[in-house]
Amino acid sequence: MSNQINLIAARIKELREIWEFSQQEMAEKLNISAETYIAYENAEHDFPVSVLYEIASILNVDLTELLTGNSPKLADYCHVKKGKGLKVDRYEGYDFQSLAYNFVHRKIEPMIVTVDPEPEEVAPHLVSHEGQEFNYVLEGQVVVYMGSHKILLEEGDSLYFDPNILHGQKAAGGKPAKFLTVILL
């Protein structure tokens, strides 16, 4: 596992202990097994973004604090120059850049996501999370797997959906794709 995952796991463990929650209590709050939670906290498995959002909410911290160890500082506006978003390594083949990571009390999480192409027979990693989600394709083609649907999005296309439904994205056409995703927290 990457060093970033180890650091995130250590921050979560420290915050959980400050709140005096047991690992079992955290697992129950997240509605996952204790074994799964312990594997996350021991950095044996990568945290899905949806689980990180839930953990941040339970521990009363901003997602940025879990990811970086730093608290957001800006309240009036957050200006992020092209290519300077907070890089978040989540899944192989995905590159996330948080575009509002330093804004306090965000109600949305805007990110630029770049996905590498994979063979047609390889399905993307599927996740689900609370809120609502909007994806807008900036470059290339993206196939969105959502429930039993496969939706092809091309440059300029968008999709607004309920992310409680298992979903995932992958590049199509043999080239990397880039899209803006905005998640309502």
Q: For position 40, which CATH number holds?
A: 1.10.260.40
93 and 177, same structural domain?
yes
Picking from 13, 37, 68, the residue at the C-terminal end of a domain is: 68
> Domain total for the chain?
2
Picking from 22, 42, 68, the residue at the C-terminal end of a domain is: 68
Residue with tokens 């697992």: 27
pTM recorded for the entire structure: 0.79
Picking from 15, 38, 68, the residue at the C-terminal end of a domain is: 68
* Tens-digit pLDDT profile for residues 21-46: 999 999 999 999 999 999 999 999 88
Nearest CA-CA partner of 95 in 184, 3, 1, 169: 169
Residue 53's domain comprises 3-68
The answer as to whether 75 is a domain residue is no
Under 8 Å between Cβ of 179 and 160: no
* Tens-digit pLDDT profile for residues 109-161: 999 999 988 888 888 888 888 889 999 999 999 999 998 999 999 999 999 99
CATH of the domain at 133: 2.60.120.10
Under 8 Å between Cβ of 41 and 17: no
The answer as to whether 73 is a domain residue is no
